Amino acid sequence: MQEQFGHVTVTYDEETALLQQPRPEDLLVEQLLEEGFDCKRAQAPSFPVLYHLSHLRGNLTEWLPVKMTDTVLEFGADSGQLTGGLAKKAEKVICLEESVSRCRLLAKRWQTVDNISVFGGSVWTTLETLPRFDWIVAPGVLTETHRYFTGEYPEQQALNILKQHLKPDGHLVLAADNRFGLKYWAGAKEPHTGQYFDSLEGKATSFSKRELETILTDSGLTDYQFYYPYPERWFPMSIYSDQWLPKKGELNQNLRNFEGERMVLFDEEQVYDELIKDGRFPEFSNTYLMIAGPERKDCPVYVKYSNDRAERFMIRTDILGDAAHRQVRKVPVSAEAVSHVKELKHWEEVLDVQYREAGLRANRCELKDGAAYFEFLHGRTFEELLDEKRQEKDYAGLAAELQRYRKLLTAALAKEIKPFAKSQEFIEMFGNPDFTKAYSGASINNLDWIFGNLMETKDGTQIIDYEWTFPVQVPVEYLIWRAVSLYLNSREDVKHLGLIAQMGISEAEEAVFTEMEHHFQLWLLDGTVTIGAQYLHTAGRTITREELLRQVKKNRIQIYPDCGSGFSEDTSYWVETEADKEGNVRLELLLPADIRGLRLDPAETPCLVKIKRILGELGGSYNPGWSHNGRELEQQGILYTTTDPQIVISGLVEGTGRLYVELTIQELYPDTAYACMHLLNRVRAAERLTNSMPFKFLKKLKNILKSR
């Protein structure tokens, strides 16, 4: 049976479709597609919607060097998350997907594209009827093989079949989660089982790098290249390779638990830095992408996406070539961004003239095949130079280099410097700040005069990235502030040095420039809902290590016996507790013969404690005396605003062998505890007022006057 959705035909077996039940998320996604929902412009109502409709999903394979003469098989196409990026390059894309409802979603999503065909139902049966392809993209096949093949090696069986449908020089593209990915050690759940540590314990369908290498070679796929999507394969923003591995400080987007809660047991960025230093990042990458087939010289060694912003600025940056012949390429990934990329050649020429008298150059640009190509420069960036000073703790040298940067920037703009005046373009991009002093600035500015973009090479100092060049005048001080503040953003150890003030920028100016930058970032987004904003809206709970430790401590009470030397941490011990259905905690404490007093610490946080009984046993029960460091709330119990609440039992009769305690403990947020205490103080103040003699006299006088 066939269904037509615009240009896209869906072919499937009707009986198979009747046996399948659409998942609830499919119905929701279908409804949103019909309503024209766009994840770029609106927050997704749930993770499944983001999973199916985010344009960032395509970043996993959009960068592949597919040619207009190539045919592509997308095996396990799901709802078409990768399809659009492949279809815009290939001659034809054939999509196989088991779920007929997902086939319909795919077809509706890409119905205006005329080189896509979709087949639903039994993917392996349909595959037998298809020809050979230049590319087979099967990102989920390794996870699913156990559903279709029996025996000890289902993955090899699947790959042996797939490779038979490749042309002699064709390529098979696979993806898999790394079961030893760093996020699983840090406390992320395994996405397929939804359980903590299943991946590490071998209870999930994920694979280590060594296991994947074995699967590939045992399947006869001996020519392959590993890539490392980061942060993960659902919404990757960077793709690394063995020829271009991440550098220290780059892996700083690690909270991506869109699908549910996770723990954060350590700082993943710091651990990644240590792994990078030790050369072990590939073993701990969260996910792998593999390209099996003859070596491709046109495959980038590194890919960085900048498509989480306004469509007119959506680009991709590639590093091409081997170590001896590197090249940088910037590619538009939306139709609206084509002119933005073309303008880079123009800005190279403009900035080269502008900077010439200062002895600077703009990195040479060449337009070719709809992309901008740049020289890959060798040298040291100004950021690397500053970091050397910082690591040596040469703070005077660091400050001196910043002053050198300021002189260099001023000299580069000197020929065009004139008194600053707000233009309509400035107000549109940066808002309408209230400047309290006069500034100067050039009429054309590369706003990204940041330390990482300024490189010292054998041919002199060059600006290596000038994408954010605009014909708009801004204060020179704003460019200086922007560079220094971005540098300080991830370097806590030098924030106390007052480097911005040393550049002549006051706190008041800094506040104005901060607001300008905020407005500029919003202008760059132009209403785009970033993946970061989607995370804040959609993600599950993140449980920190500190929260976990507090939770462990929540179900225990610390006991301090006093046997003549007072209360001491050295002689204290912990008692594990478990409240009953009514919240009551019951303790039975054995007391040493020489006991003089006892202290109970019911929590390590502000709390509300209600003591129901404290009984000493000496032949019979008796009520010893006790005190506390909280505030009594009459029938509600004792309110503690301290993080060290105490109950001190001092009236123990000599010879008492046991102590029985029954109480309830309700931990409070500090703000809640302080609010309760403030309210209690006001109540007590009101009570004192109403019980005072002047108040009683005035009340009596009021009643007398009222009776007349």
CA 393 to chain centre: 31
DSSP class of 261: -
Same domain, 186 and 59: yes
Q: What pLDDT, in 10s, does the model give residues 145-178? A: 999 999 889 999 999 999 999 999 999 999 999 9
Q: Which amino acid is at 600?
A: L
Q: Domain of 658? A: 556-668
pLDDT bin (cut points 50, 70, 90) of residue 45 is very high
Q: Is 629 within the bounds of a domain?
A: yes
Q: What is the rounded average pLDDT of the residues 492-500?
A: 92
As given in the structure block, the two tokens for residue 357 are: 């008298």
Same domain, 42 and 136: yes
Cα dihedral 14, 15, 19, 25 in deg (nearest 10) = -10
Q: Is 543 within the bounds of a domain?
A: no
Of the two residues 335 and 192, the one the predictor is more confident about is 335
As given in the structure block, the two tokens for residue 122 are: 């039994």
As given in the structure block, the two tokens for residue 288 are: 């792998």
Q: What pLDDT, in 10s, does the model give residues 565-615? A: 999 999 999 998 988 988 899 999 999 989 999 999 998 889 999 999 999
Q: What is the rounded average pLDDT of the residues 617-642?
A: 89
Same domain, 705 and 629: no
Same domain, 258 and 350: no
606, exposed or middle or buried, with CB in 10 Å at 0-12, 13-18, 19+? buried
Q: What pLDDT, in 10s, does the model give residues 427-441? A: 999 999 999 999 999
Per-residue 3-state assignment (H helix, E strand, C coil) for 346-370 = HHHHHHHHHHHHHCEEECCEEEECC
Q: Is 316 within the bounds of a domain?
A: no
What share of the chain in percent tops pLDDT 70? 96
Q: Is residue 696 over pLDDT 80?
A: no
Instruction: Provide the pLDDT for residue 483.
Output: 97
How many angstroms separate the Cα of 645 from the Cα of each of 610, 627, 660? 13, 11, 19
Long-range contacts of range 397-400, CB-CB < 8 Å, 24 or more positions apart? 398/494, 398/497, 398/499, 399/497, 399/499, 399/502
Q: Determine the Cα–Cα distance for residues 35 and 42; give it in Å rounded to an integer.
A: 12
Q: Is 392 within the bounds of a domain?
A: yes
Q: What is the rounded average pLDDT of the residues 121-138?
A: 96
Q: Determine the Cα–Cα distance for residues 176 and 204; give it in Å rounded to an integer.
A: 12
Closest CA to 118 of 174, 164, 74, 52: 74
Q: Determine the Cα–Cα distance for residues 385 and 382; give it in Å rounded to an integer.
A: 5
- Residue labelled with tokens 């006869």: 220
What does the buried/exposed string (b/e) look like for 675-684 if buried means 16 or more CB atoms within 10 Å of the residue's CB? Answer: ebbeebeeee
Same domain, 33 and 180: yes
Q: Is 322 within the bounds of a domain?
A: no
- The answer to whether 75 and 159 are in contact (CB under 8 A) is no
Instruction: Provide the pLDDT for residue 546.
Output: 80
Q: 422: which residues sit within 8 A by CB, 6+ positions away?
A: 432
- Residue labelled with tokens 């960036």: 381
The runs of H, that is alpha helices, within 286-377 are 338-355
Same domain, 477 and 392: yes
Helix or strand run (H / E) with residue 302: strand 302-306
pLDDT bin (cut points 50, 70, 90) of residue 677 is confident
Q: Which amino acid is at 215?
A: I
Q: Determine the Cα–Cα distance for residues 578 and 83; give it in Å rounded to an integer.
A: 54
Q: What is the rounded average pLDDT of the residues 386-402?
A: 95
Q: What is the rounded average pLDDT of the residues 177-201?
A: 94
- The answer to whether 342 and 312 are in contact (CB under 8 A) is no
Q: Is 414 within the bounds of a domain?
A: yes
693 three-class SS? helix
Same domain, 62 and 161: yes
Tell me the torsion sign for CA atoms 446, 452, 458, 460. positive
Q: 267: which residues sit within 8 A by CB, 6+ positions away?
A: none
Same domain, 424 and 356: yes
Same domain, 674 and 602: no
Q: Is residue 697 over pLDDT 70?
A: no
Instruction: Provide the pLDDT for residue 428.
Output: 97
As given in the structure block, the two tokens for residue 674 are: 């302080």
Q: Is 48 within the bounds of a domain?
A: yes
- The answer to whether 141 and 75 are in contact (CB under 8 A) is yes
Q: What is the rounded average pLDDT of the residues 125-130?
A: 96
The structural domain count of the chain equals 4
Q: Determine the Cα–Cα distance for residues 571 and 421; give it in Å rounded to an integer.
A: 72
Tell me which of 527, 544, 575 is where a domain ends.
527
Q: Determine the Cα–Cα distance for residues 81 and 59; give it in Å rounded to an integer.
A: 9
For residue 117, what is the domain's CATH number? 3.40.50.150
The vertex-432 CA angle with 429 and 433, nearest 5°, equals 110
Q: Is residue 704 over pLDDT 80?
A: no
Q: 585: which residues sit within 8 A by CB, 6+ positions away?
A: 557, 577, 578, 579, 661, 662, 663, 664, 665
As given in the structure block, the two tokens for residue 488 are: 């300080």
Q: What is the rounded average pLDDT of the residues 441-461?
A: 95
Same domain, 483 and 566: no
- The answer to whether 612 and 662 are in contact (CB under 8 A) is yes
Give the sheet arrangement for strand 360-362, strand by strand. Answer: 360-362, 460-463, 454-457, 379-381
Closest CA to 289 of 395, 174, 376, 159: 174
Q: What is the rounded average pLDDT of the residues 68-78?
A: 97
Same domain, 664 and 676: no
Q: Is residue 647 over pLDDT 60?
A: yes
Instruction: Provide the pLDDT for residue 323.
Output: 87
Q: Is residue 317 over pLDDT 80?
A: yes
**Mean per-residue pLDDT over the chain, rounded:** 93
As given in the structure block, the two tokens for residue 356 are: 């010439």
Same domain, 83 and 146: yes
pLDDT bin (cut points 50, 70, 90) of residue 701 is low
Compute φ and ψ for 657, nearest 5 degrees.
Answer: -100, -25
Closest CA to 390 of 380, 403, 399: 399
Q: Is residue 552 over pLDDT 80?
A: no
How many angstroms separate the Cα of 175 from the Cα of each of 142, 291, 477? 8, 9, 47
Q: Is 540 within the bounds of a domain?
A: no
Q: Determine the Cα–Cα distance for residues 360 and 606; give it in Å rounded to an integer.
A: 61
- Kindly report the pTM of this predicted structure: 0.82
Question: 51-65, 84-98, 228-242, 573-587 — which is least confidently predicted?
Answer: 573-587
How many angstroms separate the Cα of 275 from the Cα of each of 101, 209, 245, 272, 418? 43, 15, 11, 5, 49
Of the two residues 41 and 671, the one the predictor is more confident about is 41
Question: 66-70, 351-355, 633-637 — which is least confidently predicted?
Answer: 633-637
Instruction: Provide the pLDDT for residue 273.
Output: 96
Q: Determine the Cα–Cα distance for residues 159 and 686; give it in Å rounded to an integer.
A: 80
What stretches of 19-112 adopt beta strand conformation (E)?
A: 71-75, 92-97
pLDDT bin (cut points 50, 70, 90) of residue 545 is confident
